[in-house]
Amino acid sequence: HVAALTNSVECCHILLGHHAPVDETDYRGRTPLICAAARGHTLILELLLEYHADVRAKDCQLNTALHHACRNRHSDCALMLLERVQHSSIVNMANKQCRTALHLSARHGLVSVTRRLLEKGASVQVVDCNGLTPALACAPSPAIAQCLSLILTASTQPPIQNNFKKYTMSLPLLNPQPSDCGLLRTSNHSSDSDFY
């Protein structure tokens, strides 16, 4: 544990070479793999995975190494762990707050990890202890998450009619090209002045 926490690759290699138990837990239920993932120590993580450390191991809060990597924004560690995951049941493991790695990855803006989790079968429908799906977990506060939930719920209702044209309440697709949104002006001329 100390070698994993302090990123001592040599010490970890020696201990594993002398048959130190790779999945031994500390008083918080953490394995060396969990410790390495929590600290972002990719070399230690890689070494422990070579010695077949259990990616399903959980600490006392039911967090896996993948949870810790996502919560602490260690994308490299999370992606390395995901390369070893073969079943969606592992990426959908929930901690005591009923949060999956996808909740944490999305919350912290880990785009490549979120993409890989989805490719590995992470559920977008699982709800945490606050009633939030991974998409709603992205909101910076519970109140904003509630507002987003209300908006998304309303988006399933029939289109709104007004006097000029129909507006549908569907979610827009993310435009891969940045848009200036009409904010850049090439002259000081205002079209409003034509009317006065």
Residue 72 covered by a domain = yes
Measure the CA angle with vertex 19, ends 16 and 23; round to 5°.
70
Global confidence as pTM: 0.75
What does the pLDDT look like over 44-62, one tens digit per residue? 999 999 999 999 999 999 9
Nearest of 66, 50, 62 to residue 25 by alpha carbon = 62
**Residue 35's pLDDT is what?**
94
The tokens describing 58, both together, are 């959980």
Q: How far apart are CA 153 and CA 136, in angstroms?
A: 12
Residue 193 covered by a domain = no
**Residue 134's pLDDT is what?**
95
Q: What average pLDDT does the chain have?
A: 81
CA atoms within 13 A on the CB side of 120: 25
Residue 79 structural domain: 2-157
Residue 75 covered by a domain = yes
Position 189 pLDDT exceeds 50: no
Q: Measured in whole angstroms, how far is the alpha carbon of residue 123 from the centre of its chain?
A: 12
CATH of the domain at 28: 1.25.40.20
Residue 168 covered by a domain = no
Rounded mean pLDDT of 174-190?
A: 41
**Residue 70's pLDDT is what?**
98
**Residue 101's pLDDT is what?**
98
pLDDT confidence tier of residue 20, bands split at 50, 70 and 90: confident
Instruction: Return the DSSP state at 21.
Output: -
What does the pLDDT look like over 81-140, one tens digit per residue? 999 988 888 999 999 999 999 999 999 999 999 999 999 999 999 999 999 999 999 999
**Residue 92's pLDDT is what?**
97
**Residue 179's pLDDT is what?**
39
Residue 60 covered by a domain = yes
Q: Measured in whole angstroms, how far is the alpha carbon of residue 75 from the centre of its chain?
A: 9
Residue 181 covered by a domain = no
**Residue 18's pLDDT is what?**
80
* Distances in whole angstroms, Cα of residue 180 to Cα of each of 175, 177, 191: 12, 10, 18
**Residue 61's pLDDT is what?**
98
Structural domain count of the chain = 1
